[in-house]
Amino acid sequence: MPKTTKKESIASKLAKKSPMKTAAVIPGTEGHQPVSAFENAMIQFDEAAKVLKLSSSQIAVIKQPRRITEVQLPVRMDDGSIETFTAYRVQHNIARGPAKGGVRFHQNVSLDEVKALAFWMTYKCAVADIPMGGGKGGVIVDPSRLSVSELERLSRRYFAELVDLFGPDRDVPAPDVNTTSQIMAWFMDTYSMHHRNHVPGVVTGKPLELGGSAGRVMATSRGLLFATRRAVARKSEKLPGMTVAVQGFGNVGSYSATLLQDDGCKVVAISDVNGAFHNPNGIDAHKALAYSTKNRGLKGFDLTGMAKKMKNALDILELDVDILCPCALELQITGKNAQKVKARYICEGANGPLDHTADKILDKKGSFIIPDILCNSGGVIVSYLEWVQNNMGYYWTEERVNSDLERFMNKAFDAVYDTMKVHKCSMRVAAFAVSIQRVSQASELRGLYA
């Protein structure tokens, strides 16, 4: 795709009002994964289904995606040429409610990845016990190469092409990697124009001025904090004084670092696309976030004197810390490096950061893993709360939203932890067991429409 003639990219135009959720792809981690994200998701499902002793008929209804849509999006560029972008929307399961899941704009988006993410969304909603199913979308594009107007045309084209799939009672998208509240506003406006109505509940993660929810920006990170608090308490320990390493310093990772620090932890390492930075005496996460926001990343962070750059970015995963938060992309910890991971608690801010082999190795080593569908479900919980507020036209304070989020997270964690004890299995298997049982029961109660 030819570079736009605009000098200023969409990143610099929209960053101040609506920071992008950027994919923290650490150099050197690409392509080392032994299985695909969707294959890994299917392995996770099978392990939990075995524990639950599901029949083949039960599995057939809830395992595979119900609908996969692929479209080609022609978009007129600023220079008058037309570029075509491949886009996807996958609805995995809607037995418990309308599909829910983000849309990511990234050059490495693939159908396999979107299928896996939709699968995880089904069971993330179920483990949190919110009445929604799983969906996910993506466009193969590097948005940093688009002008503001090109990005708007691409966003509107995506929603217009798939408008029959979406709706507040059908499929409710949200922000994901490289998408923003501004893009959600364009989505909502496109849908509303097609339906000649004001429909804020068709997407979540919107600007506050258009029906967004207070507390949404930090929801995933705050949910991670609540889950970590619960895990540490269940192990009869306390958070203050624990050391933390955070891989990925985008929206989820940066806010997770600041929240954990505010709870008394010592953040000793952080990383993003520019590498990993370490200071055994502690890094001020708030200053690091301010630096990253100002400089569009952590490039040059080692020159500030707050931390030293690590020779190998992947080494952040192997630091001797109490808590490791992988908040980058899928399959970062695999059978190749899991044996070197020393963290006692692994809090998955990203979707699918561990493969099934790493799970086995770390469980055997005694690491306490808070699985992604539980640990990072804060985002979808507050998205659900936004959808509820949109549908009733009444909006809550941030304190009310955060209180509800904590209640949902604690209830979900306790259900998973108790299931782990009953079945003597890992936390991941327990999380899927809880959620699969809920989805399976809903499917059986609804029956099959002949």
Beta pairing partners, 272: 275
CA atoms within 13 A on the CB side of 112: 11
Residue-level pLDDT at 35: 65
Residue-level pLDDT at 329: 80
Lowest average pLDDT, out of 8-12, 253-257, 279-283, 415-419, goes to: 8-12
Average pLDDT of span 344-356: 93
Confidence check: pLDDT of 413 > 70:
yes
pTM for the full predicted model: 0.88
CA atoms within 13 A on the CB side of 367: 30
- From start to end of 80-176, where are the E strands? 82-93, 99-106, 133-140, 171-175
Confidence check: pLDDT of 450 > 80:
no
Q: What angle do CA 162, 166, 171 make, to 5 degrees?
A: 130
> Quick one: how far is CA 395 from the chain centroid?
24
Average pLDDT of span 348-376: 93
Confidence check: pLDDT of 17 > 90:
no
Convert the pLDDT of each residue in 299-342 to its tens digit. 999 999 999 999 998 899 999 999 999 998 888 999 999 999 99
d(CA 412, CA 398): 21
Residue-level pLDDT at 57: 87
Q: Are 314 and 275 within 8 A, CB to CB?
A: no
CATH code, residues 22-53+217-378+401-450: 3.40.50.720
- Which part of the chain has CATH 3.40.50.720? 22-53+217-378+401-450
Residue-level pLDDT at 12: 42
The band of 39, judged by pLDDT with boundaries at 50, 70 and 90, is confident
d(CA 440, CA 437): 5
Burial of residue 81, with CB atoms counted within 10 A of its CB: 0-12 exposed, 13-18 middle, 19 or more buried: exposed
- Which part of the chain has CATH 3.40.50.10860? 67-208
d(CA 260, CA 265): 6
H-assigned helices in 141-271: 148-161, 181-195, 219-234, 251-262
Q: Could you give the percent of the chain with pLDDT greater than 90?
A: 81
Residue-level pLDDT at 177: 84
**Average pLDDT in the chain:** 91
d(CA 190, CA 284): 42
Beta pairing partners, 89: 69, 137
Write down the architecture of domain 67-208 according to CATH. Answer: 3-Layer(aba) Sandwich (3.40)
d(CA 247, CA 348): 10
Average pLDDT of span 15-21: 44
Convert the pLDDT of each residue in 89-148 to its tens digit. 999 999 999 999 999 999 999 999 999 999 999 999 999 999 999 999 999 999 999 999
d(CA 258, CA 405): 18
The band of 26, judged by pLDDT with boundaries at 50, 70 and 90, is very low
d(CA 81, CA 405): 46
Residue-level pLDDT at 31: 38
From residue 366, how far is each of 93, 211, 294, 359, 360 by CA, in Å? 33, 44, 39, 11, 10
The band of 21, judged by pLDDT with boundaries at 50, 70 and 90, is very low
Q: Which H helix or E strand runs over 247?
A: strand 243-247
**Active-site residue list:** 136
Confidence check: pLDDT of 25 > 80:
no
Token duo for residue 324: 């490791």
Confidence check: pLDDT of 5 > 60:
no
d(CA 380, CA 336): 31
Of all residues in the chain, what percent are helix, strand and coil, respectively (each to 5)? 45, 15, 35
Average pLDDT of span 190-210: 96
How many residues belong to the chain?
450
**Strand, helix or coil at 100?**
strand
Confidence check: pLDDT of 10 > 60:
no
